[in-house]
């Protein structure tokens, strides 16, 4: 509880500093020549707050949020499923893995955000170009984790399951998949964040809906308060998503030791 209080205190201090430094005429300008310049460049916290309230009261934000979250969810699910499938396949097939290795490495090294304009051409300005960008970002995080996870399954565990009579299919279901899942969950926080980035960057580059679009519009009219409002709403939802992932993880990964419990050997 003490920790929570301190955390809130930091937030309050930050907002107070923001307000003090930007409110026109409150303190004499020491960097800009004119009193209202700081507010022009950095926005003002109370105005940002009212923009957010206005968005939610008028309901204007909901369609944009829904679109951004839908893009995130689709990008994340499709990317994770492909990552899991292809990760399992390559990890269990040494030949395919050896053949694909340079391409995987190359595609991963490519700064994939530059694909956004291409996706816009291929998939149009609707949600699918953003989903595609999210998929390329999420795929590799999940893929590498699954690949690593499957390769690091203890040979003992595999031998043991074989001696207990597991067929190849049962090995996949009972050993490889659960082993890989723990690695997938380790990467999930990262992956959800990247799906979000994919959605927002995609919207920012060209869209008619979404929170990224709102930010882009506001920027076009130098409405810095609205830009900040958009950023804050995005941040809040990113945090909420992260919490949701954490909750799912705790539910599904009860078998993993946590701090305070004994370590598995």
Partner 1 sequence: MNGVPALALADITCRFAARDGRSDAYTAVANATLEVAKGEFVSVVGPTGCGKSTLLNVAAGLLEPSSGTVEVFGERLLSTEGVNRRAGYMFQADALMPWRSGIDNVIAGLEFRGVARAEALVQGEAWLRRVGLAGFGDRYPHQMSGGMRKRLALAQTLILSPDILLMDEPFSALDVQTRQLMENELLALWAEDRKSVLFITHDLEEAIALSDRVVVLSAGPATRPIGDFRVDLPRPRDVSEIRMTPAFAKLHREIWGAMREEVLKAYEAQKVL
Burial of residue 153 (CB within 10 Å: 0-12, 13-18, 19+) is: middle
33 vs 261 by CB, closer to partner 1: 261
Residues 139 and 108: their CA atoms lie apart, in Å, by 10
SS3 (DSSP) at 48: helix
Give residues with Cβ within 8 angstroms of 149, minimum separation 6: 87, 91, 179, 180, 181, 182, 183, 184
59 vs 257 by CB, closer to partner 1: 257
Q: Helix 60-92 crosses helix 127-151 at what angle (to 10 degrees)?
A: 30
Q: What is the dihedral of CA 205, 206, 211, 217, to 10 degrees?
A: 90
94 scored as a contact of partner 1 (CB under 8 A): no
Q: CB under 8 A: which stretch of 100-108, 170-178, 188-196, 237-245 binds partner 1?
A: 170-178
SS3 (DSSP) at 216: helix
Binder of partner 1 out of 2, 4, 251, 264 (CB under 8 A) = 264
Binding mask 131-160 for partner 1 (x = CB under 8 A): -----------------------x-xx-xx
Q: CB under 8 A: which stretch of 19-27, 90-98, 178-186, 211-219 binds partner 1?
A: 178-186
Binding mask 182-211 for partner 1 (x = CB under 8 A): x-----------------------------
Binder of partner 1 out of 24, 85, 178, 246 (CB under 8 A) = 178
Residues 192 and 141: their CA atoms lie apart, in Å, by 10
Query: Smallest gap, in angstroms, from Cβ of residue 97 to partner 1?
Result: 19
Query: Smallest gap, in angstroms, from Cβ of residue 253 to partner 1?
Result: 8
Contact residues toward partner 1 (CB under 8 A) are 154, 156-157, 159-167, 170, 174-175, 178-179, 181-182, 254-257, 261-265
């Amino acid at each position: 509880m003490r920790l929570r209080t301190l955390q809130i205190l930091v937030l309050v201090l930050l907002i107070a500093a923001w307000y003090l430094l930007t409110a026109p005429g409150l303190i004499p300008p020491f960097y800009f020549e004119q009193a209202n310049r700081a507010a022009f460049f950095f926005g003002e916290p109370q105005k940002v707050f009212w923009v957010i309230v206005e968005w939610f009261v008028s309901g204007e934000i909901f369609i944009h949020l829904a679109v951004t979250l839908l893009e995130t969810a689709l990008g994340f699910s499709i990317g994770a499923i492909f990552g899991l499938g292809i990760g399992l396949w390559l990890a269990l097939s040494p030949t395919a893995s050896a053949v694909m290795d340079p391409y995987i490495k190359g595609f991963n090294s490519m700064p994939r955000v530059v694909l956004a304009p291409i996706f816009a051409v291929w998939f149009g300005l609707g949600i699918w170009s953003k989903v595609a960008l999210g998929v390329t970002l999420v795929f590799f995080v999940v893929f590498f984790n699954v690949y690593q996870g499957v390769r690091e399954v203890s040979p003992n565990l595999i031998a043991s399951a074989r001696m207990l009579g597991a067929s190849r299919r049962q090995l996949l279901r009972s050993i490889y998949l659960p082993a890989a899942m723990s690695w997938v969950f380790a990467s999930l926080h990262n992956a959800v964040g990247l799906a979000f980035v994919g959605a927002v960057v995609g919207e920012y580059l060209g869209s008619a809906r979404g929170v990224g679009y709102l930010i882009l519009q506001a920027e076009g009219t130098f409405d810095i308060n609205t830009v900040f409002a958009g950023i804050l709403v995005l941040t809040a939802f990113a945090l909420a998503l992260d919490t949701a992932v954490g909750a799912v993880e705790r539910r599904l990964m009860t078998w993993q030791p946590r701090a305070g419990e004994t370590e598995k050997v």
